[in-house]
Amino acid sequence: MKIYITSVFVDDQEKALRFYTDVLGFVKKHDIPMGEARWLTLVSPDAPDGTELLLEPSGHPAVQPYKTALVQDGIPAASFAVDDVRAEYDRLRKLGAEFTQEPLEMGGATTAVLDDTCGNLIQIVHTGTE
Amino acid sequence: MVRVMAEDVFKALADPTRRRILDELAERNGQTLFEICARLVTKHGLSLSRQAISQHLAVLESAGLVVARRQGRYKFHDLNTGPLEHIVTRWLTPEAPESSP
């Protein structure tokens, strides 16, 4: 068994697509109309056949309270690996991204947490062992 | 009033986990609950639930040592050293109210 897809609940799929591609740097893999919403997935440009990220609509009534509570406590909905957290932090800040946690080194890993503008926090991480 | 506040401060400081939280906030102010938890677990090896840490923060807040600040949809925690200055001046300055007979 392997993980082929993981998802984040986004408030607005089109807005999320722009943020996750134009700002974070992922590329679109699938975009299939599904009623009012889309089956919209992304991949890393380095791994076009790798794990996909599904930008899932936030329509279910349980989703908003769940997201609100996580964001209030600073808890990320997803975690993405980067080569250099400080460099990504600087790059994303220049593009207007808002961080709730500045780069922090701890236990061999460096992490930072930013807002995806669609109701989630995203962690970027470098584990040093890569 | 001052006496009650001082009681809360001493009680809050009596716990090693709460002192660690203050250490971490002294290093960087304005942390989310997530960051505080991550620091306690990875830097100090404390295996505490998020709920337990949240309760420690509530004790620190009621003693005035930590101030929770809402900013948009986020909540950040700041260190407030004001109450510490109160309890220190009690012994360092003779004119402090609680040192008079």
For A87, phi and psi rounded to 5 degrees?
-65, -40
Tokens of B87: 């309890």
ipTM confidence score = 0.90
Domains of chain B, first to last = 6-92 (1.10.10.10)
Are the Cβ atoms of A113 and B31 closer than 8 angstroms? Answer: no
pLDDT tops 90 at residue B94: no
Are the Cβ atoms of B34 and A74 closer than 8 angstroms? Answer: yes
| Contact residues on chain A for B31, CB-CB shorter than 8 A | 74, 101
E-assigned strands of A1-130? 5-10, 27-34, 37-43, 52-57, 78-81, 99-106, 109-115, 121-126
Can you give the pTM of this predicted structure? Answer: 0.90
Higher pLDDT, A77 or B88: A77
Taking the Cβ of residue A69 and every Cβ of chain B, the question of whether any pair is shorter than 8 Å is answered with: no
Are the Cβ atoms of A107 and B42 closer than 8 angstroms? Answer: yes
Taking the Cβ of residue A74 and every Cβ of chain B, the question of whether any pair is shorter than 8 Å is answered with: yes
Minimal Cα–Cα distance from A48 to chain B, Å?
A: 31
Are the Cβ atoms of A113 and B39 closer than 8 angstroms? Answer: no
Minimal Cα–Cα distance from B101 to chain A, Å?
A: 46
Q: Is A108 exposed, middle or buried (0-12, 13-18, 19+ CB in 10 A)?
A: exposed
DSSP state of A44: B
Mean pLDDT of B25-36: 97
For A33, phi and psi rounded to 5 degrees?
-60, 135
Are the Cβ atoms of A73 and B38 closer than 8 angstroms? Answer: no
Task: Tell me what the pLDDT averaged over chain A comes to.
Answer: 96
Tokens of A19: 């943020």
Taking the Cβ of residue B47 and every Cβ of chain A, the question of whether any pair is shorter than 8 Å is answered with: no
Please state, as a whole number, how many other Cβ atoms lie within 10 Å of the Cβ of residue B62. Answer: 14
Mutation site, A100, A123, A124, A125, interface B, largest B CB count within 10 A: A100
Q: How does pLDDT run across A6-60, given as a tens digit for each residue?
A: 999 999 999 999 999 999 999 999 999 999 899 999 999 999 999 999 999 999 9
Are the Cβ atoms of B74 and A72 closer than 8 angstroms? Answer: yes
Contact B77, B36 (CB under 8 A): yes
Tokens of A115: 């807002």
